[in-house]
Chains A and B, each alone.
Chain A
Amino acid sequence: MRPELKKFKGFTLKKLPEYEGFAPGHRACQGCGTVLVLKLALKALGPNTIAVSATGCMEIISTPFPYTSWEIPWIHVAFENAASVASGIEAAIKALKRKGKISKRKKINVVVFAGDGATFDIGLQFLSGALERGHDFIYICLDNEAYMNTGVQRSSATPFGAHTTTSPAGKVVKGQITWKKNLMGIVVAHNIPYAATASPAYPVDLMNKVKKASLVNGPAFIHAFSPCPTGWGCKGEDSIMTSKLVVETRIFPLYEVIDGKYILNRRIDKPKPVEEYLKLQRRFRHLTPEQIKYIKKRVDEEYEKIVKLSECFGTES
């Protein structure tokens, strides 16, 4: 256990902070999972936080000038470079604290919110650079599994088989032909102190992970599952159900990697059939039995890898 994490007892449903960092009145779609993750994350981080957003839905829906939903200092520069901007902010805080130009007493959290396109694809180099340089910041990938802001184009985070406007379910090729990029594996390979997956269906777990990410010294990464009813073709009210089923089917296991040690937070011994998750979303409705068979097989294999990794180090949660 890292010493920075020893004192943290964790949030409970009965003891949640009243603080809200993301004001209502924003223009997100009904059932937007991304906003939910954002809101929970800011609740966990508190007001002494500077946020950086990559270009995407979140900047569009939250800052139509002269309005803003951000109760904390917030900056959006471009699409791919949120991690670099955050590392500049962190370096500035370090230098200015050392020179006595800002108070040394309180830790200022620096947090990035970026979508899957901004993280898995166009911003991967920038994320890698910032992780490798060891900046003390939190990077939260709000993964809604495609370029939603531009009209649902595929990214390397789009799941196998999913229909998007650039991986359409055609007569010959039926949706996304590649498996989702193993971003957690890439991030963990940077030997950062903290990385975790999270889902808004488990809000306390998500907030605890964000809090832990803020407590460790050095880079922390959270891969947050973020349902997009508009892009996925599901009902707004099904967002939480989707976020729960994705875990219960083993498609998106919840785990942490602390100093390279894998901790499986939720063992799924009796997984629900993947069909239950897939059938809630129009993006999967064209799937053939062969495609579903392949998804089942691959999901179990990927899940087993995480189980094995966590067993290597013993489980603690």
Chain B
Amino acid sequence: MGKVIAKEVSIAIAEAVAQCKVDVISAYPITPQTHIVEHLAELVNNGELDAEYMPVESEHAAMSACIGASATGARTFTSTAAQGLLLMYENLFIASAFRLPIVMVIANRSISAPISIWNDHSDVMTMRDSGWIQTFAENGQEAVDLIYHAYRVAEKALLPVALNIDGFTLSHVIEPIELLDQELVDKYIPPLRMKYKLDPKKPITMGAIGIPEIYTEAKKAQDEALKASYRIIVNAWKEFEKLTGRKYQPIESYKMEDAEVALIIMGSLAGTAMDAVDLLREKGKKVGLIKIRLWRPFPLRDFLKAIGKVRAIGVVDRAVSHGSTGGPVGIEVRSALYQSNKRPKVVNFIAGLSGRDVTVEDFVELFERTYDAISKKPRFSYEIYGVKE
């Protein structure tokens, strides 16, 4: 196994991407993603990574170039955040419909306006329905492991993967991280061989016009592919566990065995929430935490299994879905529950927008409020938490 070294998470991500032997990197600077692509540029210019580095003129071009390169059979990488992701937007849907195994890291950041560089999940939630596989890392080690996982999964499922890391709170922190030995990486990620690509020896037409007689079938096929990727995703984690001993699952539970109240969260706030769980457990409260690691395709069965017999769920969203019945995760959770006989009470908090701290004390309060929902009907379908009056 590799050595555990203290590293900035962005640097470790770049090194893991390099270990995956990418052929083409195409990126445009945007905070807080920049350290990743800066370090990749260094690796290329120092001759440590044999790849084409494309410093393009916009994020739209970055994703466009990734599509071109991936369609030609190259292993590609890009990284972005917030406005950059939004500028790429139309290409995201095309990349997945083309079944291209592009890997992208999103250093999650809030969307303008007001312009803000700090962390929440409002950027990635805009691509919720784009057909990409979407995962969330909680810490540096997980971020690195999910990079290896992303290439393995993308190239087996022939779908693009977006790996989400919280901007600054994860991207810029220094953590003890173990990179895999190159030998293991090579074993885990075999060379990319695409059956259909832009090759003059075997010409194909990509991006044809889909008339009404064919569009529905094309979308159905794509949807099936994303659903079927679930198996590939889970198997790739099992394979990873065999190689490294590190275990990952679509849904992670913390102290859920006998929990009667649970919070649901994605991303790096989970660590703080776990501290709150420990604190409340010491006081005899039966609370637990559910972390969603795999957001798309949504692991419905794992989720329903994970909630056990809780009486109330508090969903902590990191993005607003203006004018809807909840935050994006809250809506998902309510919809998922409707497909089962379980009927825990659901309250939905939107917290930690644009890097606003959510402390252990805040989580304790969110747990208490979720407890209240067992006996009292919540007044709102969702609430933006912590608003200064």
Chain A residues within CB distance 8 Å of chain B: 47-50, 52-53, 59-60, 63-66, 68, 70-78, 80-81, 84-89, 91-96, 98-99, 101-102, 108, 125-126, 128-129, 132-133
Known: A88-B65, A95-B23. 14 other contacts (CB 8 A): A68-B208, A73-B197, A76-B206, A78-B91, A84-B61, A85-B64, A85-B67, A88-B66, A91-B52, A91-B68, A92-B24, A95-B74, A99-B23, A125-B57
Q: Cβ of B214 < 8 Å from any Cβ of A?
A: yes
Shortest beta-carbon distance from B169 to chain A in Å: 32
What's the Cα separation between A49 and B65 when bound, in Å? 18
Q: Cβ of B90 < 8 Å from any Cβ of A?
A: yes
Q: With a CB–CB cut-off of 8 A, which chain B residues contact A78? A: 64, 90-91, 94
Interface pair B57/A129, CB less than 8 Å apart: yes
Contact with A along B79-103 (1 / 0, CB 8 A): 0000000000011001000000000
* Beta-carbon nearest neighbor of B202 in chain A: A73
Contact of A91 among B54, B73, B94, B218 (CB under 8 A): B54
Q: With a CB–CB cut-off of 8 A, which chain A residues contact B208? A: 59, 63-66, 68, 76
* Beta-carbon nearest neighbor of A106 in chain B: B200
Q: With a CB–CB cut-off of 8 A, which chain B residues contact A59? A: 207-209
Q: Cβ of B198 < 8 Å from any Cβ of A?
A: yes
Interface pair A73/B209, CB less than 8 Å apart: no
Q: Cβ of B71 < 8 Å from any Cβ of A?
A: yes
What's the Cα separation between A154 and B271 when bound, in Å? 56
* Beta-carbon nearest neighbor of A74 in chain B: B205
Chain B residues within CB distance 8 Å of chain A: 23-24, 26, 50-52, 54-58, 60-61, 64-74, 76, 90-91, 94, 191, 197-200, 202-211, 214, 218
Q: Which of B58, B64, B197 has the most CB of A within 10 A?
A: B64
Interface pair A133/B91, CB less than 8 Å apart: no
Interface pair A88/B203, CB less than 8 Å apart: no
Tell me the interface secondary structure of chain A in the complex.
mixed
Contact of B203 among A73, A81, A89, A126 (CB under 8 A): A73
Q: With a CB–CB cut-off of 8 A, which chain A residues contact B207? A: 53, 59, 63, 74-77
Given A63-B209, A80-B60, A81-B60, A96 contacting B94 (CB threshold 8 A):
no
What's the Cα separation between A71 and B204 when bound, in Å? 8
Interface pair B200/A50, CB less than 8 Å apart: yes
5 contacts between A and B (CB under 8 A): A84-B68, A87-B61, A88-B24, A88-B54, A91-B54
What's the Cα separation between A177 and B71 when bound, in Å? 42
Contact of A70 among B23, B67, B202, B205 (CB under 8 A): B205
Q: With a CB–CB cut-off of 8 A, which chain B residues contact A72? A: 200, 203
Q: Which of A48, A75, A99 has the most CB of B within 10 A?
A: A75
Contact of B200 among A47, A81, A88 (CB under 8 A): A47
Given A65-B214, A88-B65, A95-B52, A101 contacting B58 (CB threshold 8 A):
no
Interface pair B54/A87, CB less than 8 Å apart: yes
* Beta-carbon nearest neighbor of A76 in chain B: B207
* Beta-carbon nearest neighbor of B62 in chain A: A84
Interface pair B60/A92, CB less than 8 Å apart: no
Shortest beta-carbon distance from A91 to chain B in Å: 4
* Beta-carbon nearest neighbor of A64 in chain B: B209
Given A68-B208, A74-B203, A91-B54, A126 contacting B69 (CB threshold 8 A):
no
Shortest beta-carbon distance from A186 to chain B in Å: 14
What's the Cα separation between A66 and B210 when bound, in Å? 9
* Beta-carbon nearest neighbor of A86 in chain B: B68
Contact of A88 among B69, B205, B211 (CB under 8 A): B69
What's the Cα separation between A256 and B6 when bound, in Å? 57
* Beta-carbon nearest neighbor of B25 in chain A: A91
What's the Cα separation between A9 and B74 when bound, in Å? 35
Interface pair A75/B71, CB less than 8 Å apart: yes
Q: With a CB–CB cut-off of 8 A, which chain B residues contact A53? A: 207
Given A88-B64, A96-B74, A70 contacting B203 (CB threshold 8 A):
yes
What's the Cα separation between A49 and B200 when bound, in Å? 6
What's the Cα separation between A286 and B50 when bound, in Å? 60
Interface pair B68/A96, CB less than 8 Å apart: no
Shortest beta-carbon distance from A126 to chain B in Å: 6
What's the Cα separation between A261 and B378 when bound, in Å? 75
Interface pair B52/A92, CB less than 8 Å apart: yes
Q: With a CB–CB cut-off of 8 A, which chain A residues contact B70? A: 88, 92
What's the Cα separation between A126 and B208 when bound, in Å? 22
Interface pair B52/A84, CB less than 8 Å apart: no
What's the Cα separation between A292 and B225 when bound, in Å? 59
* Beta-carbon nearest neighbor of A49 in chain B: B200
Q: With a CB–CB cut-off of 8 A, which chain A residues contact B76? A: 88, 92
Interface pair B200/A91, CB less than 8 Å apart: no
* Beta-carbon nearest neighbor of A95 in chain B: B23
Closest 8 pairs (CB-CB, A-B): A88-B68, A88-B65, A129-B57, A76-B207, A84-B64, A92-B74, A63-B208, A92-B72
Shortest beta-carbon distance from B351 to chain A in Å: 36
Shortest beta-carbon distance from A89 to chain B in Å: 4
Given A49-B200, A75-B207, A89 contacting B60 (CB threshold 8 A):
no
Shortest beta-carbon distance from A9 to chain B in Å: 24
Shortest beta-carbon distance from A83 to chain B in Å: 8
What's the Cα separation between A78 and B98 when bound, in Å? 12
